[in-house]
Structure 1
Amino acid sequence: MATLSIVAVLAVVPLLPLTLVFLVHFCIRALGWYLQGQTSDRKAAIISRLKAERAALSYDHTSQEAEDGWEKIEKSGTAENGKLLTDDWNGVVGFFHPFCNAGGGGERVLWAAIAATQKRWPNAVCAVYTGDHDIERGVVVATVQSRFGIHLQEHSLVFLYLSTRRFVLASTYPHFTLLGQSLGSLILAYDAFRLLVPDIFIDTMGYAFAVAFCKYLFSNVPTAAYVHYPTISTDMLQSLDDTTGEKGIHSGAGNGLKGKGKRYYWLAFAKLYGFVGRQIDVVMCNSTWTQGHIRQLWKPKRKSSSFAAIVYPPCPVEELEKRVQLTRESEKNRQNIVLYIAQFRPEKNHSLILRAFAKFYHAAQDKPKLVLIGSVRSDTPDEKHVYNLRLEARELKIKDATSFICDAPFSVILDYLQKSSIGTNGMYAEHFGIGNVEGLAAGLIPVVHNSGGPKLDIVVPFEGQDIGFHAETDDEYAAAFGRVAAMSLEERFAMRARGRKSTKRFTEAAFASKWVGEMEALVKLQKAN
């Protein structure tokens, strides 16, 4: 009898881990059912309110047409050939973007994505989960229009205000920051789902853990992630062994006992990051560099060439083409200026550009100028960083030829885009580099770091000819600056024209087309559930 009991126990032991996994999975799914039930009334109220707003807007347009003889207003729900769309999906798309009022490139992607979604599915609701409590819908719509030139439909947009954003701030986690922020995003996601469970959930900031959490809570909610850069990458891991100091802020940090601990921590986190990434239905990447790392880290269950599609971020190409003249006559107005537009942060490696420019400057007969334009974050070490860069410029004896412009308005940036000759960047493994696209569109000849998005996506041959130069060391940068200066006016103009023409890949229209294609897949999944 005792033997039979022991055998029975031994037979059950292997099942305990599976039983535990099942119980955890069931509890998470039960929590999801509870959240869907708790937020269903709010969801219905939001849909009803926005539907009423659309109806009122439609009535106003009809009345104005009848009274004033206006031509019939084109409805946003029509296809390009003028026929009505057969797919008039009217679900709720939740955009997870806790810092939606930051006004940067990531926010441009968010608003362009919402605008494209609204145009394709005019009866859908776009709900933005944000931790910015001081914003109002009407003000945001107007600000997005003036800042980015993106038109949003106010009557299908709603903001849901999060109260736990502090859990994703880097300052909250002095140690184990990557893990802390990632786990903190689970708290923030739960905060979001307590407000509203959407029909489709999209992260546009890089919180992969939050998207995977959504998938575990709600199996019937399709998920997507637009990845600007991976939370961890193989480049970061490789930088731990770098001895040059030129591969990011973690170069050489793998030495010693502390460095070994960092390496094991990063490797373990990379495994966890890969696991959560594999739970996401649709993945979009902003560049070839990002795509390569995401495919390597997330390794989808089913290999597909369409996994982690590249959807280039929308850039203000058309606006710059209108504002910056590019003709043979305007070439004569270009000055011998090297322009670097980037935030004043250590990872942007302004020091490399200073050293390179110093070599270029001291060897040049026609003395060039260097202009560094960037934002300085309040309550951060950015101001001290700028001070140290000024000291370095003095030590390199280029102080009088170097200008530091902090938090410049767009008018100042535009002025330098019009009159500068070279655009540069010094960051190692920059995930995309929208500033480089803007420089190309404005007619600058780029000299960029031989890595990341600038190398793989932006400064690439166009129509079989070069549009700029790549460099890694200060000697290589200085030589490239010299090559541009040595060109004839005709050669420089031809390269500028090719560079501007190549930026058509990065327009807002190109982004919208690819975004809608990925959204179609999500809508199809949602309908199938």
Structure 2
Amino acid sequence: MAILTTAILALLIAATTAVLLPQLIGHVLGLILRGAGWLIRRRTRSRREYVIARARSDEEELLKTLRAKNSTHSLARSSAEDEDWEKVDNTAGPAGVKASSSDDIGASDGAKRPDDWDGIIGFFHPFCNAGGGGERVLWEAVRATQKRWPKAICAIYTGDHEVNKATMLERVENRFNIQLHAPTVVLLYLTTRKYVVASSYPRMTLLGQSLGSLVVAYDAFTLLVPDVFIDTMGYAFTLALCKWLFPSVPTGAYVHYPTISTDMLASLDDQSGIQGLNAGAGKGLKGTVKRRYWQLFAQLYGWVGRHVDVVMCNSSWTAAHIRKLWGTGKDRASNDADTTTGKGTPSSPAVVFPPTAVSELESSIAVDAESEQSRHATLLYIAQFRPEKNHPLVLRSFARFLQERARNPAYADQPQPRLVLIGSVRHASPDETHIYNLRLLAHELRIRDHTTFLCDASWPAVLSHLGTASVGVNAMWNEHFGICVVEYQAAGLICVTHDSGGPREDIVVDLGDGATGFRAETEEQFAAAFEAALALPESEKVAMRLRARRSAQRFTEEEFSRKWLGQVQKLVEALR
């Protein structure tokens, strides 16, 4: 009997230990991390005070400059109006001029905003000078934040040491036509960005980059601890680290693309070779190991994502995957639910479509029968020069299209179509090698004379091509959204996009009045779509362009700002 009692007690002790020990370890680890966070806050307090003081000082200097300019302008205008008064109207007088001058100065001061929150919002975006769609989202988010909270400081954690703030903001204006208020923009330069570069991890890249992002995030926090921390590049692990170190700091994620997805897992069994870079890689022992590794990483990614306070996704496709990965219970299984709305939580992410210069494109580029005469048989592809954008598919499809067109005598006397590829290139990176290989491929396909590569083109240059091209192309498999596709639509181009991801789910869709473009998957389908788009009668071309332009109204900068601020407001309110 005593032996049985002892055995039962031993089992109870073992069971209790098995249950309580992990909780105890977790509690102790949490205390250690919070203690580390307290030390980081203490050590960075002086830098925080300096950042705030510098921003307020720059604000005062800018205000003085504006006042001086307004004063000079008012005096000059006053002198001119005095001369006109002597010649034309004896009833006008200095009083009227003085009032006008006073109005100008008052306008430079600006009206008081009802919301005077003056905290620091940290934007984690190590590659903010890349010039892609993700960077447009970042800078448009900063602009919207500045307008909503003029006293708040937007601190961007970046690894772009070669660019100072003045140059960065100038490039943002030239590339995206986004003007920012310089005094409240602060660039904090990271020294550890190399730890999130994919080329640093030839094996287990996903895990390596994710763990590396913890190092970069720690680097960011030792520079400055923000009041609100938002990741705008997709490094979810950084948000979890922020929560562990600083539980009181609200966190937000703008997810462009899930780090891992069920589509990626499914692509391992794809035999067509069109589903991304890992299509068909699930064969054999190596493929089995890769599949298991991805499955385990997906579980870890989901656990990390559930630490985020506010979640925004750039498309309904992304939101469906994030809800499935980051959600809990029924939310994780309900992948077929409507994703166009959401509460902004891991289980119900909010869809905030990226901002696109729809209004500017519509005002700058006409779409009618007359403007059709100025468009050329040009195919335009705007995308960063990176492997996932699948430029080779476009080049091969274009070569096939030209070959088939050359065999048709009806086109004998017509000018040859051209392909223009515009994109940003991250210098001192694999991008430069990639574009070199693309140029070689164009030469091998014998389309070099009909293909143009434009690297890091300015916004005016992009605008010019959007106004004269006829077809807009996008070939990325599971493009998370496709800002360039919306730009095509707003500019009146006929879209030919990959039949997957955001373009299929949100953009190139029939809204009830007809097709807004073409979708394709294979080289043959893309070549056929190029032919179909260019062969449309003029009246049908104009009609499709106008339908696409109306569709683009769903993706304006104003709509992005409204939804962005609605979610960030939750983070600001959490502080109060």
Deviation sequence 1:131-166 (CA, Å, 0-9, x none): 222332233333322332212112212222211111
1:40 deviation in Å?
Answer: 2.2
Q: Give the total of aligned pairs.
A: 518
Residue of 415, 435, 444 corresponding to 2:484:
435
2:317 is aligned with 1:276: no
Inter-partner Cα distance in structure 2 for 1:239 and 1:139: 41
Amino acid across the alignment from 1:371: L
What's the counterpart of residue 339 of structure 1?
A: 380
1:282 deviation in Å?
Answer: 0.7
Amino acid across the alignment from 1:154: A
What's the counterpart of residue 53 of structure 1?
A: 58
Q: After alignment, is 36-45 or 52-61 more displaced?
A: 52-61
2:434 is aligned with 1:382: yes
Pick closer, same or farther for the CA change 1:105–1:73 going to 2, 3 Å.
farther
What's the counterpart of residue 342 of structure 2?
A: 305
Inter-partner Cα distance in structure 1 for 2:235 and 2:321: 16
Inter-partner Cα distance in structure 2 for 1:77 and 1:297: 45
What's the counterpart of residue 556 of structure 2?
A: 507
Gaps of 5+ in 2: 75-100, 332-340
User: Residue 445 of structure 2 aligns to a residue in which SS?
Assistant: helix
Gaps of 5+ in 1: 79-83
User: Residue 233 of structure 2 aligns to a residue in which SS?
Assistant: coil
User: Residue 104 of structure 2 aligns to a residue in which SS?
Assistant: coil
What's the counterpart of residue 515 of structure 2?
A: 466
Pick closer, same or farther for the CA change 1:483–1:353 going to 2, 3 Å.
same
Alignment of 1:144-159 (within 5 A): 144-159=172-187
Inter-partner Cα distance in structure 2 for 1:273 and 1:8: 34
Amino acid across the alignment from 1:170: A
Deviation sequence 1:287-318 (CA, Å, 0-9, x none): 12211111111115895932321112222223
CA contact (8 A) 1:239 1:252 kept: yes
What's the counterpart of residue 71 of structure 1?
A: 104
1:130 deviation in Å?
Answer: 1.4
Amino acid across the alignment from 1:44: E
CA contact (8 A) 1:118 1:124 kept: yes
1:72 deviation in Å?
Answer: 4.5
Deviation sequence 1:14-59 (CA, Å, 0-9, x none): 3222211111111111111221222223222322332233344445
2:194 is aligned with 1:162: no
What's the counterpart of residue 17 of structure 2?
A: 13
Q: Considering only CA atoms, is the larger Rg found in Structure 1 or Structure 2?
A: 2
Residue of 425, 431, 451 corresponding to 1:403:
451
Deviation sequence 1:64-101 (CA, Å, 0-9, x none): 656731524547975xxxxx543211111111111222
Alignment of 1:151-230 (within 5 A): 151-230=179-258
Alignment of 1:476-487 (within 5 A): 476-487=525-536
What's the counterpart of residue 324 of structure 1?
A: 365
Inter-partner Cα distance in structure 2 for 1:140 and 1:124: 20
Inter-partner Cα distance in structure 2 for 1:495 and 1:8: 73
User: Residue 157 of structure 2 aligns to a residue in which SS?
Assistant: strand
1:338 deviation in Å?
Answer: 2.8
Residue of 156, 159, 164 corresponding to 1:131:
159
TM-score, normalised by the number of residues in structure 2? 0.83
CA contact (8 A) 1:77 1:122 kept: no
1:518 deviation in Å?
Answer: 1.1
Residue of 45, 50, 62 corresponding to 1:40:
45
CA contact (8 A) 1:289 1:453 kept: yes
RMSD: 2.7
Inter-partner Cα distance in structure 2 for 1:19 and 1:317: 54
Deviation sequence 1:148-194 (CA, Å, 0-9, x none): 22121122122222111111111221211111111111111111111
Identity percentage of aligned residues: 48
Deviation sequence 1:315-355 (CA, Å, 0-9, x none): 22233334433221121232333333334444333343345
Q: After alignment, is 211-220 or 466-475 more displaced?
A: 466-475
Pick closer, same or farther for the CA change 1:161–1:287 going to 2, 3 Å.
same
What's the counterpart of residue 523 of structure 1?
A: 572
Inter-partner Cα distance in structure 2 for 1:265 and 1:400: 41
What's the counterpart of residue 285 of structure 2?
A: 257
What's the counterpart of residue 91 of structure 2?
A: none
2:394 is aligned with 1:353: yes
Inter-partner Cα distance in structure 2 for 1:77 and 1:19: 55
Inter-partner Cα distance in structure 1 for 2:395 and 2:71: 64
Inter-partner Cα distance in structure 1 for 2:229 and 2:260: 23
1:480 deviation in Å?
Answer: 2.9
TM-score, normalised by the number of residues in structure 1? 0.90
Residue of 11, 29, 34 corresponding to 2:34:
29
User: Residue 469 of structure 1 aligns to a residue in which SS?
Assistant: strand
Inter-partner Cα distance in structure 1 for 2:275 and 2:109: 47
Q: After alignment, is 236-245 or 313-322 more displaced?
A: 313-322
Pick closer, same or farther for the CA change 1:236–1:23 going to 2, 3 Å.
same
Pick closer, same or farther for the CA change 1:237–1:49 going to 2, 3 Å.
same
User: Residue 226 of structure 1 aligns to a residue in which SS?
Assistant: strand
